[in-house]
């Protein structure tokens, strides 16, 4: 399916997947066996797909979260935090009696992260028939896509795909084959180069754009490069910051990038918005907890890049956000 604009502004954004309770310890590395280490900071925050959902809602897009949590103390806490998040629709966030909510402990520093995760798997998520219009949804493509993705896409929903680190080291070509089922692919540079067997982020983005209408490759401190199969190469720089916690930076980027379509922004502006939002996020702890509200992002950019043109972030453009 080829579209002249792979991110139309229509309906809500839908984020479906697992929500975690993230326990984040910052300024620390994993201890040696039998040792004890002390963190510089700590927070409890929603994680997993909640990172993207919260970031998109704070970026001013109508956002729905489809997921499940247990009715344990951690699940009830995360559920309460998410339902109190302005502009995030959690009517599809279910509390499952007797289920233990997924929990992830993150030991994180500016350049190194370690995780301990516990998760009890439930059956596949069910997307309700009366969901209403969905402008875009984000899905992982490391595994075969659920049937509801194709069903939404057939109605005009833009499908944005992502992947995580392949711990097997295979970087299977099956992932590239699944690009035919999505409209936008947003990996980081290492993932993109491994899957395409290329040596630069640009070469990887070009190779991916032969399979998907829009390939967006994030490059950390080096910004982002996108290749639109019809419009060519578009790049955006990021804002240099002192990194506190990189957890969820990619989630915040892709959510802000998707929200930019709701505001009617062009590709270059959406890339700048995503990169700036991710830069802000890594200065705090946790992905969802550190996703910026518009006023926070404006203040951050006024301090960090006062001479650049950020007028697209004026209160009118983000009305209601």
Write out pLDDT tens, residues 96-106: 999 999 999 98
Tokens of 70: 């247990």
pLDDT at 170: 92
186 Cα distance to chain centroid: 9
pLDDT at 179: 97
pLDDT at 151 over 60: yes
Q: Which residues pair with 13 in a beta bridge?
A: 63, 136
Q: What is the average pLDDT score of the chain?
A: 90
Per-residue pLDDT, averaged over 152-162, amounts to 96
Tokens of 30: 């994993």
Half-sphere exposure of 104 (CA within 13 A, CB side): 19
pLDDT at 305: 85
Element (H, E) at 173: helix 173-177
- Count other C-beta atoms under 10 Å from residue 320's C-beta: 10
pLDDT at 166: 87
pLDDT at 109 over 70: no
pLDDT at 316: 52
pLDDT at 110: 60
205 Cα distance to chain centroid: 18
- Helices 249-262 and 49-58, interaxial angle, to 10°? 40
Per-residue pLDDT, averaged over 15-36, amounts to 91
238 Cα distance to chain centroid: 16
- Categorise residue 203: left if φ over 0, alpha if ψ from -120 to 50, beta otherwise: alpha
- Quickly state the pLDDT bin for 3 (edges 50, 70, 90): very low
Tracing tokens 């990194």 back to the chain, one arrives at 243
- Quickly state the pLDDT bin for 21 (edges 50, 70, 90): very high
Tokens of 136: 């875009």
Contact 189, 218 (CB under 8 A): yes
3 state DSSP class of 188: strand
pLDDT at 25 over 60: yes
Per-residue pLDDT, averaged over 47-70, amounts to 95
pLDDT at 196 over 90: yes
Write the DSSP symbol of residue 6. S
Q: Which residues pair with 93 in a beta bridge?
A: 67
3 state DSSP class of 146: coil
Q: Where would I find the beta strands (DSSP E) of the chain?
A: 12-16, 19-26, 41-48, 63-70, 88-96, 103-108, 113-118, 134-140, 158-162, 184-185, 214-218, 224-228, 232-236
pLDDT digits (tens, 9 = 90+) for 248-293: 899 999 999 999 998 989 999 999 999 999 999 999 888 788 999 9
Contact 258, 299 (CB under 8 A): no
Q: Which residue has the higher pLDDT, 114 or 225?
A: 225
Write the DSSP symbol of residue 144. P
Tracing tokens 């289920």 back to the chain, one arrives at 99
């Amino acid at each position: 399916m080829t579209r002249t604009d792979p991110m139309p502004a229509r309906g809500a954004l839908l984020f479906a997947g697992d929500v975690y309770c993230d326990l984040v310890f910052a300024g620390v590395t994993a201890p040696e066996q039998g040792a004890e280490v002390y963190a510089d900071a700590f927070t409890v925050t929603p994680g997993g797909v909640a990172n993207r959902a919260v970031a998109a809602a704070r970026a001013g897009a109508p956002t729905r979260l489809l997921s499940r949590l247990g009715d344990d103390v951690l699940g009830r806490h995360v559920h309460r935090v998410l339902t109190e998040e302005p502009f995030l629709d959690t009517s599809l966030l279910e509390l499952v009696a007797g289920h233990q909510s997924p929990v992830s402990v993150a030991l994180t520093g500016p350049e190194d992260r370690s995780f301990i995760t516990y998760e009890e798997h439930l059956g596949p998520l069910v997307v309700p028939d009366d969901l209403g219009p969905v402008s875009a949804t984000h899905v992982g493509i490391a595994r075969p896509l659920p049937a509801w993705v194709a069903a939404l896409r057939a109605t005009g929903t833009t499908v944005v795909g992502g992947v995580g680190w392949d711990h097997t080291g295979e970087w299977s070509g099956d992932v590239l084959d699944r690009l035919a089922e999505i409209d936008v692919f947003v990996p980081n540079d290492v993932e993109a180069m491994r899957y395409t067997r290329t040596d630069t982020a640009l070469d990887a983005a070009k190779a991916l754009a032969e399979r998907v209408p829009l390939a967006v490759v994030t490059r950390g401190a080096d910004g982002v490069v996108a290749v639109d199969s019809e419009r060519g190469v578009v790049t955006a720089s990021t804002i240099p910051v002192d990194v506190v916690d990189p957890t969820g930076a990619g989630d915040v980027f892709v959510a802000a990038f998707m929200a930019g379509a709701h505001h009617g922004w062009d590709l270059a502006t959406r890339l700048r918005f995503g990169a700036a939002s991710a830069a802000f996020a890594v200065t705090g702890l946790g992905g969802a907890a550190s996703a910026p509200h518009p006023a926070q992002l404006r203040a951050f950019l006024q301090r960090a890049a006062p001479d650049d043109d950020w007028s697209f972030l004026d209160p009118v453009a983000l009305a209601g956000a």
